[in-house]
Structure 1
Amino acid sequence: MAAPSADHTNDERLAELKAFDETKAGVKGLVDAGIKTIPRIFLLPAAERDANEGAPDPPALPLLELPVVDISAVVGGGHGDLRRKAVEQIGLASETWGFFQVLGHGVPTEVLEEMLAGIRRFNELGAAEKAAFYTRDPARRVRFNSTFDLFRTRRANWRDSFGCIVAPVPVSLEEIPVTCREIILKYSSHIAKLGETLLELLSEALGLRPSHLKDLGCNRGQIPHSDSGFLTVLLQDDIGGLQVRHQARWVDVPPVPGALVINVGDLIQLITNDRFQSVEHRVLASRRGPRISVATFFTTNDDSSSTTVYGPIKELLSEDNPQFIEKLWSAITPNTSIEKASREKWPSLISSAFQIRQ
């Protein structure tokens, strides 16, 4: 598929954005319509693309692989050396990569496969059926769209996303498409349990009691550059394309059969006082075909009724390790001052985003 110039006037761009949005058919709608070139709204301006393409490559590095941690002994209730090994591996991966993959996580293979199949079924629905779920309203608990900030971002995403907030208040069954209703609830239940286990291991890696991060409310929710929440659990198909920024290079994260990808979010970096890292990552398009992924986000949402305020864990601060919050907060929320941030209310919530890249 050819790619035209991305340069056009603001009026032209706005008209094209509105036309795309009003179809409520997403990227798949464009593909099904037989387009021959990628619309300009999905491209960066030529000058910006040329600058990126002309940048020199950083020094070559030896072949790198994302850490893979087997937590089967922990999920099975084990303690002792096997648990300590898992804690050490996850702690090191969180400090040096901000990403790792887990095996032995307790989510049955058939649940993983059916989750991907359920999202594929939704994607294959007719345009009119999917249009009923199309919205960019953040108040909607179930929503389908391509780019949630379509009229504010520099370019639209070449993907379709279906999202569902499943906790802390259970979503109404009638709101979830029947094609994937049962599996979303089943998968979310498994991931909620896995999230608690991961937070225990991360707490222990920090030298804290196992329930420390859970007690802070990091596990109450699941919702989607680095990710802005606490933790993300990613299920991906065999297409691949995920890359992680590590030591100034992009590193491929090839799918490992049966594994789930875990990444540290900005808020974990904040409350661990920069010990655990939230890093950039991206997904490249593949000629092999559409890529399906299911990302579950343990995150927060602004709510004036909440009294929760997050900051560096005091047990991690010392003269040798002073508070890092001002520098870190400016990186996470450049438009919010630390004074305002200290007054923000941050409750947790859980959601999942189910993405399909054409």
Structure 2
Amino acid sequence: MAAATTKLLLSDLASTVKSVPSNYIRPISDRPNLTEVQISDGSIPLVDLQVLNGPSRLDTIKQIGQACQHDGFFQVRNHGIPETIINNMLTIARAFFKLPESERLKSYSDDPSKSTRLSTSFNVNTEKISNWRDYLRLHCYPLQDYMHEWPSNPPSFRYN
């Protein structure tokens, strides 16, 4: 782990800098060329997963395949995760990122193979240009195999 004066997390660094550090600025050649972007009709493919285990299964799988091939992404609805659980997880995640740096750093790792880790890049050791974000990666399935690795703070992380 870095010395206390070195900011590992972007959320802590961002509040102290006056301009974007050069290691966060991608060369123009690595940025999307917006003049080459094809304009679509503006709609995002929407796949209803409620029928995935019924007689329309093959149609749903075909919709997913077409969305991946033509658009590269899609939106889902009726995924089966109750909105209360989603909102609860967002609340817990916000609480985690509001913890003091010293507490959050207990979950920090540069090792991209770790199933639970806080980091700023996918592979801090090999990326020349860093991404302007912090993230907490949590493997969740099967839950009993990973939950013991999750942060212990905030306490609600493990009990909701």
TM-score by shorter chain over 0.5: yes
Q: CA deviation at 1:126?
A: 0.5
Contact 2:7 2:13 (C-alpha < 8 Å) held by counterparts = no
Contact 1:122 1:177 (C-alpha < 8 Å) held by counterparts = no
Contact 2:67 2:74 (C-alpha < 8 Å) held by counterparts = yes
Match of 1:158, SS state, is coil
Identity, % of aligned pairs? 24
Q: Once the two structures are superposed, what CA deviation does each residue of 1:43-101 show, in whole Å capped at 9, x if it has no partner?
A: 12xxx32x467957137534232210112233xx5x33x44542332232233233211
Q: CA deviation at 1:110?
A: 0.8
Match of 1:121, SS state, is helix
Q: CA deviation at 1:39?
A: 1.4
The separation in 1 between residues aligned to 2:45 and 2:33, in whole angstroms, is 29
Match of 1:132, SS state, is helix
Are 2:88 and 1:114 aligned?
yes
Q: Once the two structures are superposed, what CA deviation does each residue of 1:92-113 show, in whole Å capped at 9, x if it has no partner?
A: 2233233211101111011111
Equivalent of residue 42 in structure 1, options 21, 24, 29: 24
Task: Please list every run of at least 4 consecutive aligned residues from structure 1 whose deviation after the TM superposition is greater than 6 angstroms.
Answer: 18-21
In structure 2, relative to structure 1, the CA distance for the partners of 1:175 and 1:30 (3 Å cut) is: same
Are 2:158 and 1:181 aligned?
yes
Q: Once the two structures are superposed, what CA deviation does each residue of 1:271-323 show, in whole Å capped at 9, x if it has no partner?
A: xxxxxxxxxxxxxxxxxxxxxxxxxxxxxxxxxxxxxxxxxxxxxxxxxxxxx
- Tell me the equivalent position of 1:69: 47
Higher RCO (Cα < 8 Å, 6 or more apart): 2
Equivalent of residue 128 in structure 1, options 102, 106, 112: 102
**Unaligned runs of at least 5 residues, structure 1:** 1-17, 184-358
Contact 2:147 2:158 (C-alpha < 8 Å) held by counterparts = no
The separation in 2 between residues aligned to 1:147 and 1:60, in whole angstroms, is 29
Are 2:7 and 1:23 aligned?
yes
Q: CA deviation at 1:124?
A: 0.5
TM-score between both structures, scaled by the size of structure 1: 0.38
* Two-structure CA RMSD over aligned residues (Å): 3.1
Equivalent of residue 111 in structure 2, options 137, 152, 156: 137
Looking at CA atoms only, which structure, 1 or 2, has the larger radius of gyration? 1
Equivalent of residue 103 in structure 1, options 77, 94, 100: 77
Q: Structure 1 or 2: larger strand share? A: 1
In structure 2, relative to structure 1, the CA distance for the partners of 1:96 and 1:146 (3 Å cut) is: same
TM-score between both structures, scaled by the size of structure 2: 0.76
Q: CA deviation at 1:28?
A: 0.7
**Unaligned runs of at least 5 residues, structure 2:** none
The separation in 1 between residues aligned to 2:84 and 2:62, in whole angstroms, is 30
Number of aligned positions between the proteins: 156
Match of 2:126, SS state, is coil
Q: Structure 1 or 2: larger helix share? A: 2
The separation in 1 between residues aligned to 2:32 and 2:77, in whole angstroms, is 39
